[in-house]
Structure formats: C-alpha cells, structure tokens
C-alpha cells in the first residue's frame, strides 16, 4: 500500500512527564506504571491497527484508534495521542489517503515515544 508522506507532530512533545504526573494525581509510581503499560501494548496495538488499515475496515480501525486513545490520554504522550485521534477521524471519514497518512504519523509517533523511554 502506498502511503502519503508522514507529517511529523514534532511540535508536540513525545512525552510530557509533568502532564502524566498530574493525570496520575501526583503518584510518580502510577505514572510510570501507566507509561510502561502503554509501551508494552504498543506493538500489538500497531499490528492490530495495521491489519484494519490493510483490510480497509474503517469502522474497526476507528474503534481501535479510539481504544488506543484511551491509553494515550493518561500517559503524557501528546503527539501520540494527537496521532491516534487523527487516525480515528480519518477512519470515521473512510478516507484511504488520509488514513494512510494518519497511520504513518501514528507509527512515527509510537517510535518517538519508545525512544523517549529513559
């Protein structure tokens, strides 16, 4: 499948520890646990999303992207959260070129988040 060029969301941080800590009510251990769970689940979530993209299952893709956002909202990963939201919107619009670009962005942001793990 041809993909549209990736538009980096680099203006947003890959990881925002202050936001993650605030969401976790100031509990650094909880924030770290949520982030670790996000990292652990990303490979499987990306694979599932890739399957939906390949099948052009826009409804399934939108639902999966929405589920990914359920995790990204609580982990202080604003660029990845925005990429997941963009993918969800593109899937709901059933727009293949937009979906391809949004999925490429999501993969790029997932790599940034994985590299931000220190």
pLDDT tens string 9-61? 668 889 999 999 999 999 999 999 999 999 999 999 999 999 999 999 999 99
Residue 69 has pLDDT above 70, yes or no: yes
- Spatial separation of the C-alpha atoms in residues 62 and 93, rounded to whole Å: 9
* CA–CA distance, 5 with 105 (Å, rounded to integer): 9
- pTM attached to this predicted model: 0.87
**Pairwise CA distance, residues 83 & 65, whole Å:** 9
């Amino acid at each position: 499948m041809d993909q549209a060029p990736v538009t980096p969301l680099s203006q947003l941080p890959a990881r925002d520890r202050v936001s993650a800590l605030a969401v976790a009510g100031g509990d650094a251990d909880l924030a770290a646990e949520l982030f670790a769970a996000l990292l652990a689940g990303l490979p499987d979530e990306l694979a599932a999303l890739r399957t939906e993209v390949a099948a052009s299952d826009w409804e399934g893709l939108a639902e999966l992207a929405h589920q990914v956002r359920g995790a990204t909202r609580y982990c202080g990963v604003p660029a990845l959260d925005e990429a997941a939201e963009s993918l969800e919107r593109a899937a709901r619009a059933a727009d293949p070129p937009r979906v391809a670009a949004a999925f490429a962005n999501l993969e790029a942001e997932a790599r940034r988040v994985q590299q931000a793990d220190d």
